[in-house]
Amino acid sequence: MKTYTNNNSVSPTSVICSVLGHKYRSTRKITNHFSEYQCRCCGKQMTEDTRGRLISLTPELRDINETLNMIFRRRQIHI
């Protein structure tokens, strides 16, 4: 007899966020115009694109934000 397991477990917090929507809070300010956000319930991370819309935070975007933050801090020191 074969046994099947379901690896797609659904957490209660992800169900709450899918029904009621995410509750994002700012976790890190990149520049005066860009920030990173995280949902209080499920932990989903987002960032802003060039038009100000929230998009999912990928490793590539995390590297871009880190570089942008480094350039922004250097400029602030010289001003």
- Looking at residue 9, what is its pLDDT? 57
**pLDDT digit of tens for each residue in the chain (79 aa)?**
455 444 455 677 778 888 888 999 999 999 998 999 999 988 999 999 889 899 999 999 999 999 999 999 999 888 7
CA-to-CA distance for 1 and 53, rounded, in angstroms?
A: 51
What residues does 48 pair with on adjacent strands? 54
Domain borders along the chain are 23-78
